[in-house]
Structures are given as C-alpha cells and as structure tokens.
Structure 1
Amino acid sequence: MKRPEGFDDRPDEPAGPAEGASAPRQRRGPRQRPVPWSARRPSRPVADAGAPDDGLEARPAPDAPVTDDETAGPADDRTADRTALPSNRERAGALAGAAGRRLGAGFSSVAEQLRGYSPDEEHPSASRRTAERDHVATVTDVLDVHRASRSTDPEADGHDTRDDHGDAPIGAGVRAAETAREARVAKRRRRLLERAEVRRFTRRARHRRAAWITAGVVVVVFGASLLVAVYSPLMALQTIEVKGTNRVDDAALRQALSDQVGTPLARLDFDEVKRDIASFPLIESYVTEEVPPHTLVVTVTERTPVVAVQSGDAFDLVDPAGIVVQSSPSRPDGMPLADVARAKLGSPVFRTMTEVVLALPSTVRAQVTDVAASTADDVTLTLQGGSTVVWGSPEDSSAKAALLAALVKDHEARSPGSVVEYDVSAPDNGIVRAKS
C-alpha cells in the first residue's frame, strides 16, 4: 500500500475515494537540498515535554474527528510514520551546528598559525586555547539543543511555518540571522587577534624608537644647558666671596679679582686669578669654587711665621719659605730667634733651621729661645735656662724630637735647674752632658 509523504501541515482529510476527478490535489512543500556527507550525522535527541520553555509558545494541534470507522487506524499510522521522519528543522539545525563548529575550528587554527610567526614571543597557554575551542563548541551545542527542542512536526504547531510568499519556512530566516550574527562575532574576534599580533610584532620596534627618542632628548637638553652655561649672561659672575683671611685685607683681594666680574663662570680665566692672588705675599695657598649662578668663593691659607729675624731695631716674623709675614718693634714671645743675616732668608741653611723648629713638640718648642746653624748639618738650639741641644742634620727629625722630649723630662725630674747639653744627633743614643 502506498503512503503519501511530504511536508504538508494541513490536517488529514477524511477517508474517501483516492482517485477521481473530484479528489483534491495535495500541496507539497519546497524541495530540500541534499545534505552533504560531512553534515550527515545522528541528529540530537528532541527535548522531552519537561524541557524548559524557549519562549516560543506552541499552538495546539486541532482535534481530529473521532470516528468509529476502521479507516481511522491507517490514518493514525501514516501520521506516526510522518512524525518519525527527519524534518526541515532537524536538518537545518544539523547544518548550522556543523557550520558553527567548522567556523570555530577554523578561527582557532588561524590564531595558532599567527602565533607561530613569532617564536620569540610569549604565547597563550594550551589550556587557554583549549578553553576557547570548548567555548565555541559549547555555543554550537546550545544552538543545536535549542533548535532541536522545538517542535519537529509542522502539523503540531497548528499554523503554517512558511513565510508570506510561501517560498521557505520562517525558521530558515531565523537560522540565517543567527549564522550572520555568529559570523560577525567571529570576525570581530579575528580582528582582535590580528591587532594583538601586530602589537606583539611591533613591540621591539616601539621600544627601540622610544629609547632613541629619550637619548635624543637628553643630548639636546645637555647641549642647551652647556650653551647656556658657557655663553649666556644668566651664569655670569657677580659676587666674589673671600674666606680664611686674618692678616690679608679681604677687600683689597676682592678688588684685585674684580676684573672677572661679568664673565660666565665656565669661562673664568684662572691664570689671571692666580696672578692677582700672587701679589699678596701673605697668602700661602688658595682654593677657588664656583657656586652657580653668580658666585665665586676664594678660600685663602695665610702664611704662618715660625722664627723671628732681627732687622735693625725691629723683628721680622718669617715663615719657612723666608717670606716676612709681619714686622714687630719688639721680640715676640714664644717664637725662637734665628741667628742668620737678612740676606740669607730662604737659603738652604735657613730652611733647615725652620724645618727643625717645625719638628719639635709644642712643649719643647715653647722652651726654645734661639736657633743657629753654620751649615745645613750643624743645627744648635738654645733652651730657656741656658741648656743647649746638639741637633745635627735635619734627617730623622721626628725621632730626634721624641728623644729630646724624653731627655728633657727625665733631667727635670732628677735635677731641675741645672744647665746641661742634650746631644740627639744620633737618635738611637741620646746623651746628656753637664755644662761647666
């Protein structure tokens, strides 16, 4: 017995004559395209009656007339067989699911190939790529279950699922919209991946460019600062400060250095400064310091007299270099008198005498009243009370000074007030002789 098959959603006609001119012609649905082999897989089970509502309210099917006629049996069998056959929605759902999975797998493959172009960069972990593929598969499965949960029997909806023109079911348009939306999402994701790869490839170039820009800015700033310091009047000398003066007139020293005022600090003529300061004999040494933006500080070390030299009725205070630091009408206290003519100031003999005086401890130097030398190796000192010291050459002056201090202390402890002669010319063997 032949059974009519098709996709007509009209209710079954009452049993009647199958042939004849008065028999109504059945309307068939649109012809379905053949399903490709890649999409021919078992369809997902249809959701049962307890599945949650998807928002589409199904219309109740019209009640079929109940008759006691025996023709009702074959009609029910035809309806059951027609329901068991795969419907348009199942086939379209299978096609959409397969297309979604292929689309997700394709994008994952493209992302992995892009990452392969930069082996020296960090790549996302395998777990992240697996999670992305699972997410795409989950979205596809949800779409398939959502489509399969709908009614697969056009007759059960109670209305025609074709559009107004009768060309295609309404569900085909919905599926096309969903596919377009998924394609847009995938396109946006692909663009994001491409932008990330571009940023990763250009990261080193951007870093190098930033480093070069920073270096260029530093060079430019340094050059501008150097030009300002050397040639700009913003760093010109305006103030001269003098420190460490006691016998030197600081006002006169500032006046001597005033020719440098108005010159940038970086272009000061220190040879000229040295010549100006050399005109002050009491200055032994000096140190200059530029204090931006407009100050020059001069710290002076004055000469210190160590012996007195009689010059007529006055006494000149002389430093070790033979420079007269100060003149006094009377003999100064606590300063030994050098037995040397004024014409021999600065001679080797005079320098030897001053060297011996400077080597003495302060306690012994305060007791020295005179110092004399006929040669550089024959230095003699005279102490308060008339005692004398045979010093000899200036070699080993520190050892001789320590020996002399010990001999003086021991003699004063044993026989204070007696006049003796201390011989320290041999620092390893000091001698104390009594003077008659």
Structure 2
Amino acid sequence: MRRPAPLPPQGGKPADAPLRARPAKPPREETPRPDAGEDVQETAPIAPLFLNQGPPAAPMTDAAPTADGEDAARADTDTAPVGWRDVWRAARSRRKALRAEVRRFTVRQRRRRIIWLSVAASLGLVTIATVGAAYSPLFAVQQITVVGTSQLAAADVEAALDDQRGTPLAAIDTSSIKAALVAFPLVESYTLEARPPHELVVRIVERTPIGVISGAAGYTLVDAAGVALSTSPTPPAGYPLVDAAGGEDGVAFAAIGRTMRALPADLRAQVTQVEAKTADDVTLTLGGTNTRVVWGSADESALKALVLQKLTATRPPDGVAVYDVSSPEVPVIR
C-alpha cells in the first residue's frame, strides 16, 4: 500500500518548521486523604451573604485620585454617613414628586371643580345683588292703585294705605294693610300685587248686600254672612226687607243668603221682601204686584233661579199670584 500524503501546514507555515513545545503543566497538588479509619465530615465551602446591600464596596487604597476626581468623590459618597438633612431632603423630594403626580392625574377633576365653584359664586352674587336691590329705595312704593271697588270710594282706600309709600316692595307691612282695610266693612277679601319698580296694586272683593234688617238702631244693610255693612234710620232703596227667624245666626238666615246670592241681578232688583222661618221655606216677594215666589230650601238654588227667570219672561208677574219653584223640574204657576 501507498502511504498517504501529509496534510498541508496551518497558518501558511512551511512543513519543515519545527514544532513548538507546549509548556508543561504544573503538577496538581493532591490533598492527602484521611485514613480510612478516621471519621471525617466533609463541609461545603462558606460564601459571604450580602442581603440588600448591593455589591461589595471596593477596598480603599492609597492610590492617587484620577484627573477629574469622579472616582474619589464616588468613594467618599458611598462611605460617608447619612445625616438627618439628607433624609429630610429625600423625603421632601419624594413629597414633591407625589404632589406632581397627583396634580397630573387630577387636572380634569380640578377643572370641573373650578367651573362649579365659579357658577355657584356667580349665582350667589346675583342673589345678593337682587335681594339688596329689592330692599333698597330703588323699589320703594310711590303709587297705590285700588282695583275692584264699586260701592267703596277707591280714593278713600288709597288714603288709608298712604303710610305704605316709601316702603320697599319686598318689605310691605301686610298686617298694617289688613288693619287699615278692616275699617271698611264692604271689603270681603283683598290681594296685594307688587309691580316694580314703584306700584302697589290692591285688588278688593266687595261684600254683596242681600237685604235690610230692621232693628232698634234703624235699618242695617247686611250681606249673606250677616255682616253689617251700614245702618241708617230709613231703609235704603234697592234692597229687600229680610225677615229671618233666629236672626243673622240662624239657619233660616243662611238659607236666605244662599238664595239671594243665586239670583241674577235683574231678579234680585225686583225682590222687595224675603222671609223664612226654617231652612226649607224661603219665600220671596216681587215688585209692586206682591207676587210670591215659593222657593223652598236653598238646595239647587242656581237651577231654581234659571227656572224663575224663564217663568217671569213667559208669564210676567203682573198676571201671576204665585211662582212655585220649590221643585224646579215641575214648576207651578198660580
């Protein structure tokens, strides 16, 4: 057999270059093993533990500091003791950082809060300004207008309320106005209306007289509630004479009052006398013909008044002695 050709040398070295001898390894030291008879317990190597202390600090040497002094300053900082000023500065920096984060995450909430506070402050200022203006002389009473009087003289009522002039509309003394209007018996009720800037309107509802009651003092004009409106020695024209058993506080007078208030104005003007002994036997007398109207009780007075109005239109009182409307569905004429 032929012997194969040798491999080419590595690194371009010639094949005939002498081989470099490898350095001899130092002899390995062997630890003498204990005798088989001795009881030796093998232990693991002990390594130092650094818990939460970071890498071990480099040993201090007496080497000269570098040109920029950074290594020396870092070594001094790492080894310098921490004082209370450093702790205070660190805590302050942490608080500043926390406050900055809180402001960053609550900017929208703070913006909404500012808007609501601005709206509330504006409303408060408007309310204060309105109340202040309402109680100021800018809205004081300078004109008093009385509305709804027909039997009363409006000028007399205005004169009785003259002490309210110069008072702010919001500070009108209602008790003083009531005391002044009580002096007018014809006033049944009233309402006050303020018309800024300077007008006070008094709306009056007058009492409706229903007749005259004869007494020791003369003839007293009364309304349906029995309130005396005026007294005169002679009976006033245009009002019927009232004869009610039990006086103004009895049930007969109450039935007469309801009956007279239900009559239309044209029929009421024709009544010359009204009488009742009980609440169920009201009787009216019409005009100079002395035609009697049997009314009965005050129930269904509105329907009875309508039926009587139609009866007098078809059959005038001068040819009739009695109109009986006590049962309005079946009226009787005699």
Q: Does 1:429 align with 2:330?
A: yes
Contact persistence 1:386–1:419 (CA under 8 A): no
Equivalent of 1:335, from 210, 235, 239?
Answer: 239
The separation in 1 between residues aligned to 2:270 and 2:161, in whole angstroms, is 43
Q: Does 1:218 align with 2:123?
A: yes
Say if 1:255 and 1:331 are closer, same or farther in 2 by CA, change over 3 A: closer
Contact persistence 2:320–2:333 (CA under 8 A): no
Contact persistence 2:281–2:297 (CA under 8 A): yes
AA matched with 2:279: A
- 1:249-294 CA-partner distances (Å, limit 9, x unpaired): 5555445434544543223332332233222212111111223334
The separation in 2 between residues aligned to 1:239 and 1:403, in whole angstroms, is 47
The separation in 2 between residues aligned to 1:333 and 1:279, in whole angstroms, is 24
Which residue of structure 2 lines up, in the alignment, with residue 351 of structure 1?
A: 254
CA-CA distance at 1:374 after TM superposition: 0.6
Say if 1:429 and 1:313 are closer, same or farther in 2 by CA, change over 3 A: same
- Please give the secondary structure, in 1, of the residue aligned with 2:209: coil
CA-CA distance at 1:205 after TM superposition: 8.0
Q: Does 1:361 align with 2:264?
A: yes
CA-CA distance at 1:238 after TM superposition: 4.5
CA-CA distance at 1:356 after TM superposition: 0.9
Equivalent of 1:297, from 201, 225, 248?
Answer: 201
CA-CA distance at 1:373 after TM superposition: 0.3
Say if 1:346 and 1:239 are closer, same or farther in 2 by CA, change over 3 A: farther
Equivalent of 1:323, from 227, 242, 246?
Answer: 227
Say if 1:251 and 1:361 are closer, same or farther in 2 by CA, change over 3 A: closer
The separation in 2 between residues aligned to 1:366 and 1:238, in whole angstroms, is 41
The separation in 1 between residues aligned to 2:331 and 2:240, in whole angstroms, is 23
Q: Does 1:227 align with 2:105?
A: no
The separation in 1 between residues aligned to 2:178 and 2:274, in whole angstroms, is 35
- Please give the secondary structure, in 2, of the residue aligned with 1:266: helix
Say if 1:313 and 1:273 are closer, same or farther in 2 by CA, change over 3 A: closer
Which residue of structure 2 lines up, in the alignment, with residue 400 of structure 1?
A: 304
When normalised by structure 1's length, the TM-score is 0.44
Contact persistence 1:287–1:298 (CA under 8 A): yes
CA-CA distance at 1:418 after TM superposition: 3.8
Q: How many residues get paired?
A: 228
Say if 1:242 and 1:387 are closer, same or farther in 2 by CA, change over 3 A: closer
Equivalent of 2:285, from 378, 382, 398?
Answer: 382
AA matched with 2:297: S
The separation in 1 between residues aligned to 2:201 and 2:307, in whole angstroms, is 44
Equivalent of 1:279, from 171, 180, 183?
Answer: 183
Select the structure with the greater relative contact order (CA < 8 A; seq sep ≥ 6): 1
| 1:223-262 correspondence runs (5 A) | 223-230=128-135, 232-250=136-154, 252-262=156-166
CA-CA distance at 1:246 after TM superposition: 4.5
Contact persistence 1:404–1:424 (CA under 8 A): yes
When normalised by structure 2's length, the TM-score is 0.56
Which residue of structure 1 lines up, in the alignment, with residue 275 of structure 2?
A: 372
| Larger helix share, 1 or 2 | 1
Q: RMSD of aligned C-alpha atoms?
A: 3.5
CA-CA distance at 1:346 after TM superposition: 5.0
The separation in 1 between residues aligned to 2:319 and 2:228, in whole angstroms, is 36
AA matched with 1:324: A
Say if 1:429 and 1:218 are closer, same or farther in 2 by CA, change over 3 A: same
AA matched with 1:378: D
- 1:89-141 CA-partner distances (Å, limit 9, x unpaired): xxxxxxxxxxxxxxxxxxxxxxxxxxxxxxxxxxxxxxxxxxxxxxxxxxxxx
Contact persistence 1:315–1:327 (CA under 8 A): yes
Say if 1:371 and 1:223 are closer, same or farther in 2 by CA, change over 3 A: same
Say if 1:225 and 1:300 are closer, same or farther in 2 by CA, change over 3 A: same
Contact persistence 1:336–1:371 (CA under 8 A): yes
| Larger strand share, 1 or 2 | 2
AA matched with 1:430: P
Runs of 4+ in 1 over 6 A off after TM superposition: 202-208
The separation in 2 between residues aligned to 1:365 and 1:338, in whole angstroms, is 13
Contact persistence 2:147–2:203 (CA under 8 A): yes
Say if 1:255 and 1:353 are closer, same or farther in 2 by CA, change over 3 A: same
Contact persistence 1:307–1:354 (CA under 8 A): no
| 1:5-154 correspondence runs (5 A) | none
Say if 1:261 and 1:361 are closer, same or farther in 2 by CA, change over 3 A: closer
The separation in 2 between residues aligned to 1:209 and 1:338, in whole angstroms, is 75
Contact persistence 1:304–1:325 (CA under 8 A): no
CA-CA distance at 1:298 after TM superposition: 1.8
Structure 2: 5+ residue stretches without partners: 1-106
The separation in 2 between residues aligned to 1:347 and 1:315, in whole angstroms, is 19
The separation in 1 between residues aligned to 2:146 and 2:324, in whole angstroms, is 47
Which residue of structure 2 lines up, in the alignment, with residue 266 of structure 1?
A: 170
| Percent identity between the two aligned chains | 42
